[in-house]
Structure formats: structure tokens, C-alpha cells
Structure 1
Amino acid sequence: MCSPVTCRVCGKTTWAGCGAHIDAVRAATPPDQWCSGHDDTPQREPVRRPRRIWFR
């Protein structure tokens, strides 16, 4: 079951869950309060760990 959650980027309502009930969540949310997604959101870079040198 899907449920409404707050978008971490814009603060509007989006959904969380299985994806099969998005329409029900959207029906209960005013159109101006629905987050339409963020394609330009910067992706996190992977954490790079320093390499260990075992033998010299």
C-alpha cells in the first residue's frame, strides 16, 4: 500500500510504497501540492576510501 510522504527536495507531497496505489495518494492531494519529481537533483558521489598499502 502506498502512502503520502513529504519530498526531501521541495517539501511537497509525493508517495512511498509499492507503486500500485499512487493514484489513490494523488487523488487525496491537491494538484499544486504534488511533487512532480526532480531530474536535475545532483546524485551523491560514492564514498572513496583511501587505499591501504600492505607491502612497500
Structure 2
Amino acid sequence: MKVHLVEWRSLMCRAVTCKVCQKTTWAGCGQHIDQVMPGVPRNQQCAGHVKEKPTGSFWSRLLGR
């Protein structure tokens, strides 16, 4: 039973490639980041990015205008 719990936790957070900077970041619940990122050098870790606020109205964004 304990083995299944450990396997499940390892699936909770995982290393992924950032779509913006192509560096390593994490995906998942956020409670296991310290288990995912320790082997990744600091200069290869994504520091996060500010989300740009969409411009234009809802309809112009929807229609691509």
C-alpha cells in the first residue's frame, strides 16, 4: 500500500518545459516541487512570467480581429 502512495505522489508534480522560455518548470499540485526541481541547475529553471492582459473586446479576440 505504501508503494502505491509513493508512486501516486510522484505523479502529483512533475518537471515540464516552459512554453515561453524553454527552461524547466513544474506542473501539478505544487506540494512536491522540492522533489521535482533539486536536480535542475538554477540557471535552467524558469523564473515565471507575467501574464499579458488581453487587449480588445471579447468579440474581437474571439474572431481574431
Provide TM-score, normalisation by structure 2.
0.61
Structure 1 residue 42 and structure 2 residue 52: aligned?
Answer: yes
Give deviations 1:7-31, integer Å, cap 9, x for gaps. 0110000000111100111102111
Q: How many residues are treated as equivalent by the alignment?
A: 49
Higher relative contact order (CA 8 A, sep 6+): 1
Q: Which runs of 5+ in 1 are unaligned?
A: 51-56
Normalising by structure 1, report the TM-score: 0.69
Distance across 1 between alignment mates of 2:39 and 2:57: 39
Which structure is larger by alpha-carbon Rg, 1 or 2? 1
**Which of 19, 28, 38 does residue 27 from structure 1 map onto?**
38
Residue equivalent to 1:7: 18
The percentage of aligned residue pairs carrying the same residue is: 49
Bigger proportion of residues as helix: 2
